[in-house]
């Protein structure tokens, strides 16, 4: 496989945010006096857009109530970040810097808000590894729709045409340098990540340390499965 571009999910793939997310969701449910949900039920929604998480947990809520849940969650999440500081999973930072040094273009396509994503990536000290960050508010259609991948390709090619990113890993076709989905690898911990990549025509790699099970990743059709982030170096070699 010739990989030029690696598109990472964030929550459960790069950042260990499960505790933050589940704690914040439980506090939101309690504050709004909604019916209780277990930690596993809350965790099962990770990877969906925020409104989609509460819609999955409480399908009978009206749109304005879902919006209230999302707004409350965002406020509590920001407050919780002061006490519960997410960390990158083992070997994530080292692997990202190694991939960047080898000349791969790295991006993130996440279901969390762009502002939150930028802040978390910065606080984990891995911002310099990425050429582009795509958040939930950058797309109209969330995972497993292929739009986050296609949007990534589109925006990278715009940056490339302006000379704002490294050209070494773009595909050369005639006199045109550009990225395309056939040279992308999508890396994520949930079935929606794998399906998003496959729907876009990219290769996919499931990680087993996140919020999705090995069986779910296999059923989604992941091309590769890894148990440690540094195994990614073997795949792209």
CATH number at residue 128: 3.40.50.1000
pLDDT over threshold 60, residue 223: yes
Residues 68 and 170 in one domain: no
pLDDT for the residue numbered 175? 40
Determine what percent of the chain is predicted with pLDDT higher than 70: 94
Residues 40 and 71 in one domain: yes
Is residue 154 within 8 A of residue 130, CB to CB? The reply is: no
Report the chain's mean pLDDT, rounded to a whole number.
92
Residue span of the structural domain in which 55 resides = 18-80
Nearest to 26 by CA among 5, 53, 59, 61: 53
pLDDT for the residue numbered 174? 42
pLDDT for the residue numbered 47? 87
Q: CA torsion angle for 61, 55, 71, 26 (degrees, to 10)? A: 100
Comparing 198 with 165, which gets the higher pLDDT? 198
pLDDT over threshold 80, residue 15: yes
pLDDT over threshold 80, residue 172: no
For residue 190, count CB atoms less than 10 angstroms from its CB and return exposed for 0-12, middle for 13-18, buried for 19 or more: buried
Provide the terminal-to-terminal Cα distance of the chain, rounded to the nearest Å.
Answer: 9
Alpha carbons 205 and 8: distance in angstroms, whole number = 10
Residues 62 and 111 in one domain: no
Residues 25 and 36 in one domain: yes
pLDDT for the residue numbered 1? 52
225 beta partners: 206
Domains in the chain: how many in total?
2
- Which of 40, 62, 80 lies at the terminal end of a domain, its last residue? 80
pLDDT tens digit string along 62-106? 999 999 999 999 999 999 998 888 999 999 999 999 999 998 999
Residues 12 and 117 in one domain: yes
Split at pLDDT 50, 70, 90, the class of 184 is very high
In 185-226, alpha helices (H): 191-200, 214-219
Q: CA torsion angle for 99, 222, 147, 66 (degrees, to 10)? A: -110
Residue 168: Cβ within 10 Å count: 11
């Amino acid at each position: 496989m010739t990989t030029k571009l690696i598109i990472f999910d964030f929550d459960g793939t790069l950042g260990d945010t499960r505790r933050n997310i589940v704690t914040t969701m439980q506090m939101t449910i309690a504050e709004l006096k909604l019916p209780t949900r277990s930690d596993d039920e809350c965790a099962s929604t990770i990877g969906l857009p925020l409104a989609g998480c509460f819609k999955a947990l409480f399908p009978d809520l009206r749109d304005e109530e879902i919006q209230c849940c999302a707004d409350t969650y965002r406020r509590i999440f920001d407050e919780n970040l002061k006490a519960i500081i997410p960390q990158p999973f083992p070997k994530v930072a080292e692997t990202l810097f190694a991939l960047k040094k080898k000349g791969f273009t790295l991006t993130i396509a996440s279901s969390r808000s762009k502002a939150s994503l930028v802040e978390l990536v910065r606080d984990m000290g891995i911002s310099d590894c990425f050429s582009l960050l795509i958040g939930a508010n950058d797309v109209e259609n969330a995972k497993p729709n292929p739009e986050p991948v296609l949007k990534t390709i589109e925006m990278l090619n715009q940056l490339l045409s302006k000379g704002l990113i490294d050209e070494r890993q773009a595909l050369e076709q005639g006199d045109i340098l550009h990225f395309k989905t056939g040279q992308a690898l999508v890396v994520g911990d949930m079935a929606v990540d794998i399906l998003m990549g496959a729907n876009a025509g990219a290769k996919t790699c499931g990680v087993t340390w996140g919020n999705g099970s090995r069986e779910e990743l296999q059923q989604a059709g992941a091309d590769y499965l890894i148990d440690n982030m540094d195994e990614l170096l073997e795949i792209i070699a």
